[in-house]
Amino acid sequence: MDSNKLNPVLTGVAGEYYVAAELSKRGYIASITLRNTRGVDILCADQESRKAVSIQVKTNKTSNRSWIMNIKHEKIVEKNLFYVFVNLNDNKKPPDYFIVPSKAVAKYISESHRNWLSTPGKRVKQHKDTPARKFEDYKGKYLNRWDLLGLD
């Protein structure tokens, strides 16, 4: 399938299913939540259900290691909440997964947005503040870091 035909909603749904499948493949219990579950896309536990985490999935169609976030994510810091950022890689290779604790995401997007605001844009004009934020991991610090979930 041509990834350009995948609309944003289906892109997000595909990411959630890929993450749930990967978690199951790794021996965890993964359950995709209903659409009205605020801030949690997947509930995940070890096989004995002794340890559990909540996961929010952010997906893009490409291999660009950058995902759009929102200002509200600066304040979401929970010990057992993780983001799994997914690259679908234009369906040319298997997806890539970046597993990041919510605290690290909140810190990164807050600091990077503050830096962006303080740096002049085109024609040396000041950037205007918006609720949009961006999380990036170009160096691959969180690539396949399933161990960060702490379920082993």
Which CATH number belongs to the domain containing residue 112 in this structure?
A: 3.40.1350.10
The domain of 75 spans 3-149
User: pLDDT tens track of the chain, all 152 residues?
Assistant: 455 678 888 999 999 999 999 999 999 999 999 876 788 999 999 999 999 999 999 999 999 999 999 999 999 999 999 999 999 999 999 999 999 999 999 999 999 999 999 888 777 888 889 999 999 999 999 999 999 999 98
- CA separation for the pair 75, 40 (Å, rounded): 15
Domain total for the chain?
1
CB-CB neighbours of 92 under 10 Å: 9
103 contact partners, CB below 8 Å, separation of at least 6: 77
Confidence at residue 3, expressed as pLDDT on a 0 to 100 scale: 52
Backbone angles phi, psi at 36, to 5 degrees: -90, 10
